[in-house]
Structure 1
Amino acid sequence: MRMEIRGTGLYVDQRGPEDAPALLFIHGGPGAGSYDFMAFQGDQLARRFRLIGVDQRGVQRSDPLTGPVDETDLVADYEAVREALGITSWSILGHSYGGRIALRYAVSHPDTVTKVVFENPAWDMVLATDTLLAAALPLLPGVEVPEHSGPATKAMWDERIAVLGQLGERRTDIYLGPNSRGLQLPADTEIADEFHARSGQFSEQITRSPQFGDLVLPLLAQLTQPALLIKGEYDPATSQDEIARFQSDVPDGTYYYATGAGHFVHAEQPDRYTELVTGFLLS
């Protein structure tokens, strides 16, 4: 359904009983949308939760952007969705870049966010792209990327994403475990080109916002909610430094290593993923 939220129309996919514990899915990308996650996990998680998947402003089935967007906007949008749906509090689940937004949201709204799940999060955009390049460059002999120091920048992001683009059809392979090669993400074929173009515009805008360079890892120590970090064995996004910070800094943190899976644990090991998330959130 479409909801008017803070001056724009957001697409909201809501499943499950309204009296069940509420769970918000926060997608990554930037600009990936919620379509794929809801295709793999929507009906399964909706058996026990009131699951809400939102396409961020300007992304996929939400209205196109009409101006700049930053991470504060995304957090404010999610909080406004919660209020509009009449939900007192909910757990949140952030995948990839969505883990960065989930961390910001949990710390800024401790009274409305009860538990947090991070799936292969990209908290630090320099560390995350370092790890992605480490996975990609062995497949691109002769390609070199200058080292980057300091906070993330638009130029750094564009340069590194361009390198990943050189992988062509092989790009998907660095994100998947060996047993998941060939996995088809539904949005690639089931979402109209118009909606993919919106996602591209969103990514262009969010990566040029000043907040994109913010160092958010220190926020881990400010988490007051129980948190679960799910890390795929073959995931190329979450760095070892970020995992170490989670394990040392999060007061009530649980770490799960998904053997055999890559970046999309929710799609590569769907049944185990549902069981893991359900058990954590309802414990």
Structure 2
Amino acid sequence: MLEKTFNGSLINIRGKDLYVEIYGSENKTPLLYIHGGPGQGGYDFSYHQAERLQENVRLISVDQRGVSRSEGIKEDDSFSIHDIILDYEELRIELGIEKWALLGHSFGGYYSLLYATTFPNSVSHIIFECPTFDPGLSARNSLIKASKLFKEGGKENLAEKCLDLAQSDKSAKSLMLEFTEIIPELGEQGLKLHIHNFEHTTDYSLYTEDEWMQFSVKNKVHNDRLIEENEIFRSLLPRLKEVTQPALLIDGIYNPVTCDKQKRTFLNDVKYGESFTLQDSGHFPHFEEPVKFKDIVLTFLK
């Protein structure tokens, strides 16, 4: 089991202290993990993959500006999605890394695509784990799966509401916000929306309940500011044509976030793109099938 410190330290990047974890020696291939959420943090990925990957890569995981163990965003701080991208680029320079590979999970795939096409000379490879490139498409597909779960639980009205939303012409922002409001109605069944294989679990007791509550408060500020800005609702599908690096899309067969249209566009538009689908995973292959996930990542980077 990893120690509570997770090999983490605070590094001041562009005026904010960011929590950065580094595993593996400097002579190994640098791999930056970009978490999703928005505002999820890197705890879960490090817990399941740091020890597995560090023998072969130099894994770098960051809690984004204002998230979890990083310094919070104050009311008078300016903050936008572009700050997240600039933070990663400044961190690369601070660590003396010429080029690094990216591994973006979920909405971290969105950030990875944005970063790789903004700073293409800084990125050697890209791994997208169950990404969203188009938040509207991801929300619609997730609503369809939520509808099935509501139906299984006998909540016909909510099942129908989810389907109606998925088939509506509402904006990506409206869909995502309404999706967020409906999902708590699934109760414990809500875990099945994103997780298929429950064999592997995460020990969250390494931080106290008070600490997790503090993280949650900071994460909400981060999320609210991004929602207010609106940029996170824009489709990045057109930018897939700009990807020049070798790219791998790792998907779970039960993952509702990366719909077929997004996968087809990735394979059609990314010149050096390939995909691999894990057969016993939902949205979190890195912990649902951790050994297979690790092997796929390392094989691709070789």
**How does 1:103-142 map onto structure 2 within 5 Å?**
103-140=113-150, 141-142=156-157
- Which amino acid in the other structure matches residue 184 of structure 2? G
Instruction: Note the alpha carbon deviations across 1:47-72, whole angstroms, 9 max, x for none.
Output: 11111000000110001112353221
TM-score (norm 2): 0.88
Q: Counterpart of 2:33?
A: 25
Match of 1:77 in 2: 87
- The one of 7, 15, 18 equivalent to 2:15 is 7
2:199/2:288 contact within 8 Å kept: no
Whole-Å Cα distance in 2 between the matches of residues 181 and 45 of structure 1? 21
**Distance in 1 (alpha carbons) for counterparts of 2:187 and 2:49:** 27
Greater helix fraction, Structure 1 or Structure 2? 2
Query: Tell me, which stretches of 5 or more residues in structure 1 are unaligned?
Result: none
Describe the SS at the equivalent of 1:137: helix
Which residue is 1:194 aligned to? 214
Q: Which runs of 5 or more structure 2 residues have no equivalent in the other structure?
A: 1-8, 151-155
2:58 pairs with 1:50: yes
Corresponding residue for residue 175 of structure 1: 194
Task: Indicate whether 1:263 and 2:283 are aligned.
Answer: yes
Q: Deviations over 1:116-172 (max 9, x none)?
A: 00000011111111111111112322021435536522x432211111121122211
| Whole-angstrom CA distance in 2 between matches of 1:2 and 1:137 | 42
AA aligned opposite 1:30: P
Matched, 1:61 2:81: no
Contact preservation (8 Å) 2:139, 2:172: no
Change (3 A) 1:273 1:96: same
1:210 to 210, 225, 230: 230
Query: Aligned in 2, Cα 1:183/1:48: closer, same or farther, shift over 3 Å?
Result: closer
Aligned AA (1:173) = K
Distance (Å, rounded) in 1 between the aligned partners of 2:123 and 2:168: 34
Task: Return the offset for 1:5.
Answer: 0.6
Distance in 2 separating the partners of 1:128 and 1:22: 29
Superposed CA RMSD in Å reads 1.6
Please give the secondary structure, in 2, of the residue aligned with 1:43. helix
Task: Pick which of 163-172 and 139-148 moved more.
Answer: 139-148
Write the distance in 2 (CA, Å) between the matches of 1:172 and 1:183: 14
Percentage of matched positions with identical amino acids: 34
Confirm or deny: 8 A CA contact 2:149 2:193 kept in the other structure.
Answer: no
C-alpha distance in 1 between matches for 2:236 and 2:132: 10
- Using the TM superposition, give the Cα deviation of residue 189 of structure 1 relative to its aligned residue in structure 2, in angstroms: 7.2
Separation in structure 2 between the aligned mates of residue 202 and residue 163 of structure 1, nearest angstrom: 21
Conserved? CA contact 2:135–2:233, under 8 Å: yes
Seen in structure 2, the aligned counterparts of structure 1 residues 35 and 105 have a Cα distance that, compared at 3 Å, is: same
- Structure 2 residue matching 1:207: 3-state secondary structure: helix
Q: Residues 16 and 49 of structure 1 are in contact (CA less than 8 Å); yes or no, is this contact kept in structure 2?
A: yes
* TM-score w.r.t. length of structure 1: 0.94
Cα distance in structure 1, aligned partners of 2:244 and 2:78: 31
Q: CA deviation at 1:183?
A: 4.6
> Which one of the candidate residues 92, 99, 104 is aligned to 2:102?
92
Take 2:78 and 2:139, find their aligned partners in 1: how far apart are those partners? 23
Who wins on radius of gyration, i.e. which is larger?
2
Q: SS at the partner of 1:10? A: strand
Q: Give 1:277's aligned amino acid.
A: V
